Amino acid sequence: MRVARFSHGGDPVFGVVELAADGGPNPDTVAVVTGDPLAGPVHYTGERIDLAEVRLLSPVIPRSKVIGVGRNYAAHAAELGNTVPDLPLTFFKPNTSVIGPGEAIVRPPETSNLHFEGELAVVIGRISRRVPRERAAEVIFGYTVANDVTARDLQQTDGQWTRAKGFDTFCPLGPWIVTHLGLDEVADLEVTTTLNGETRQQGNTSAMTYQVADLIAHISDFTTLLPGDVILTGTPAGVGPMVAGDEVTVSIEGIGTLTNPVVGQES
């Protein structure tokens, strides 16, 4: 199932995306549902809308937090002159950093070195604390695509990553949440990032040092995970700068594609 959050001339609502068969005559559609799938049971309204006619929004606005994981791909750690940590290296991004597909990433005036980082994101589905690795699948609602936007110069000068990772618009998510993938499947997905159509990152989740179950077990040991919390699982090698006027696209095999333009902010 692909769960989307979208608007169609009114307030945001949720729906289930139904992709037409490749080459088929029918358009992609979204079946509207009542309520919030992360908050409880939902029901189909019977209304279906062409996907091309809706505005996709971030599929989730975390009620509590976004937890990032740094240096989880050895090649990415090496390209920035770092080693792989002995334990997952975690940080927080505020929920105010979240935007959806097509929304602009705003480069604030405080940075002159804004980077893209394409990542697999995990959406938590239930209240979770000290989750054993073997039970991690029970607390996952689904997966989406993320761009962990980073002010690389601020990351280097601040000594910790709150400001570098936390500006408004620094966490694009989308286009929807995929709920049908198992842990074994998400452990072998291609992750591709393009900048203005040119491939910059080409990796696979199989190269993650700490897999999804490892991350959930580790993170839930020190903080309670709540429904709608998002875990960013790290980025492959190939990160690099983006400037106003660029367009960045992150695609993950079996999940979807997330595209955002970049604009400048003078003050």
> What domains lie within the chain, and their CATH numbers?
2-56 (2.30.30), 66-264 (3.90.850.10)
Q: Say how far apart CA 165 and CA 170 lie, in whole Å.
A: 6
**b/e code 243-253 from CB counts within 10 Å (16+ = b):** eeebebbbbbe
Q: Say how far apart CA 89 and CA 99 lie, in whole Å.
A: 24
- CA distance readout (Å), 147 to 93, 125, 232, 267: 12, 21, 9, 23
Q: What is the pLDDT of residues 187-196, one digit of tens each?
A: 999 999 999 9
Contact 189, 26 (CB under 8 A): no
Q: Is residue 204 packed enough to be buried (19+ CB in 10 Å), middle (13-18) or exposed (0-12)?
A: middle
Q: Say how far apart CA 117 and CA 248 lie, in whole Å.
A: 10
33 bridge partner residues: 14, 44
**Rg, Å, the chain Cα set:** 18
Q: What is the pLDDT along the chain (267 residues), one digit of tens a residue?
A: 999 999 998 899 999 999 886 555 678 999 999 999 999 889 999 999 999 999 999 999 998 999 999 999 999 989 988 888 999 999 999 999 999 999 999 999 999 999 999 999 999 999 999 999 999 999 999 999 999 999 999 999 998 999 999 999 999 999 999 999 999 999 999 999 999 999 999 999 999 999 999 999 999 999 999 999 999 999 999 999 999 999 999 999 999 999 999 999 864
Q: What is the pLDDT of residues 72-94, one digit of tens each?
A: 999 998 998 888 899 999 999 99
DSSP 8-state symbol, 187: T
User: Which residues are CB-neighbours of 190 under 8 A, at least 6 positions away?
Assistant: 202, 203, 204, 251, 252, 253
Residue with tokens 């091309």: 52
Q: What is the pTM of this model?
A: 0.96
